[in-house]
A = this chain, B = another copy of it.
Amino acid sequence: MVIRSLLTIQEALHSLDEIRLWIENRNRSIHVSISPVPFSSLDHWSQDEDGTLRHSSGRFFSIEGIRVETDYGSLSSWTQPIINQPEVGYLGILTKEFNGVLYFLMQAKIEPGNVNCVQISPTLQATKSNYSQIHKGKQPLYLDYFVNASPDQIILDQLQSEQGARFLRKRNRNIIIKVEEDVEEHDDFRWMTLGQIKELMRYDNMVNMDTRTVLSGLKISDYLSLADDTSRLSVFGKDLLLSSVTNHCHSTISEHLSWLSSLKSRYDLKVHPFPLRKMTDWRVLAGEISREDGKYFKVVGVKVTISNREVSSWCQPLIQPMQQGICAFIIKKINGVYHFMVQAKLECGNFDVMELAPTVQCLTGNIPSSRSARPPFLDLVLESSGSQVLYDTLQSEEGGRFYHEQNRNMLVEVDDSFPLELPERYRWMTLGQIYQFLRFNNYLNIQSRSLIAALNYLS
């Protein structure tokens, strides 16, 4: 059912072209305007004497200052703004079987920060504030299906983290449910197959981050049976399935766990509240909180106006990146089995000190000119070309919080000449091992999950 969904692209309820046209039309017919607004004029938001930005409901999210102390990396202490949203929200996809194929009910969702207005989003994307009606808006569509889901309807249900450099210990409940009854396909929603969604991830900024994190948890090989027609899988797809089920791993899970225990014990991470207005290197201005050197990101106050069938507008803070970023996995066959080079990375907002990140995850705005000062493997990834590059697209961060933030997502294969021996914070893992970590909370970071979701099994 999942496998047939993965294999079905053209002969689906809606063709791929129809879906792309639908998104393009949405993008043309909707106008999103973002205008800067001083924090003091942000409706329903207030700024206290420390500079903290809070929603008037006291819930939703806030922008706060933190002071970070750690013995990881070259900087032992710094201050920065961070998004604090302690609630666990839903990222939910509703699925249903039509003619033996599983379809995912996807939404064309407008978010103020999207580079294009509309991206393909989960059926339900709701914070606790959303669904408990803090905004006094309408109840989100399809919410009841998720709230009332019975255990046998649940395909996947995991707590997963968001960006550790931007969110303070934020997590969402990633959930996929399957229903039997008829479900209305509302205007902004379309039934899509897994294969179609993965195809759409080949395009820049088409499938939003929330969709990618939810789908990353679906371990394809779990659904494969001898009865499935695998002739349409690509050679690479078959290799991924092997990497997902094999016991021929370069290291065992116990060894990986020991490695993580050792690193998590070694590095301290202390995060304390710190007044935004007292931060070093950052300044709180009337309409933005930014660094004097122009690095990393800034917090801006905006008024969002969306003109669609009706006009709606609201104010909120958004995070605007000052630099582009890159997230890349290097993969390599070891004894015929693909292994992913995973990095244990400490980020200040991490729930559990270190998470498993892609081989390369960094900003590319101002790469140091000295090679030795650059992040490991960055040059290799940037200089890769041709058949080495298995995936290379721009993917957006969540447009509800981030303004025009996109990262280059890459998958780069290296050959036998690449050394097996890795620096201390790096390990070779099979896809099966990555999925084992993914099932349990707070191991795979969101950048890794985005890349895992994009793995394409077809030619």
Contacts and interface: CB of A to CB of B under 8 A. Distances in A.
Contact of A157 (B90, B173, B261): B261
Interface string A77-120: 00000000011101000000000000000000000000000000
A268 B154 CA distance: 23
16 contacts: A86-B270, A151-B255, A151-B258, A151-B259, A154-B254, A156-B254, A157-B258, A159-B261, A159-B265, A175-B261, A254-B439, A351-B352, A352-B352, A352-B441, A352-B442, A440-B443
What secondary structure prevails in chain A residues at the interface with B?
Answer: mixed
Given A151-B255, A173-B261, 11 more contacts: A88-B265, A90-B265, A154-B254, A154-B258, A156-B254, A158-B257, A173-B262, A257-B439, A264-B441, A351-B352, A440-B443
Nearest to A442: B352
Interface string A235-277: 0000000000000000001110111011011001010000000
B88 A158 contact: no
A157 B352 contact: no
Interface in A410-444: 439-443
Contacts of A352: 351-352, 441-442
Contacts of A258: 151, 154, 157, 175
Interface in A319-376: 351-352
Contacts of A443: 440
Task: Please tell me how many copies of the chain the complex holds.
Answer: 2
**Which bucket holds chain A's interface residue count?**
20 to 34
Nearest to A90: B265
B173 A265 contact: yes
B86 A264 contact: no
Nearest to A437: B440
A443 B352 CA distance: 13
A265 B270 CA distance: 24
Contacts of A90: 265
A175 B261 CA distance: 9
Contacts of A439: 253-254, 257
Nearest to A151: B255
Nearest to A265: B88
A158 B261 contact: yes
A257 B157 contact: yes
A175 B260 CA distance: 13
A396 to B, nearest CB: 25
Interface string A289-304: 0000000000000000
With a 10 A CB-CB cut-off, give which of A86, A151, A156, A261 has the most chain B CB atoms: A261
Contacts of A156: 254
A438 to B, nearest CB: 11
B159 A264 contact: yes
A58 to B, nearest CB: 12
A262 B441 contact: no
A251 to B, nearest CB: 8
A268 B151 contact: no
A258 B178 CA distance: 14
A86 B159 CA distance: 24
Interface in A38-84: none
Contacts of A440: 257, 440, 443
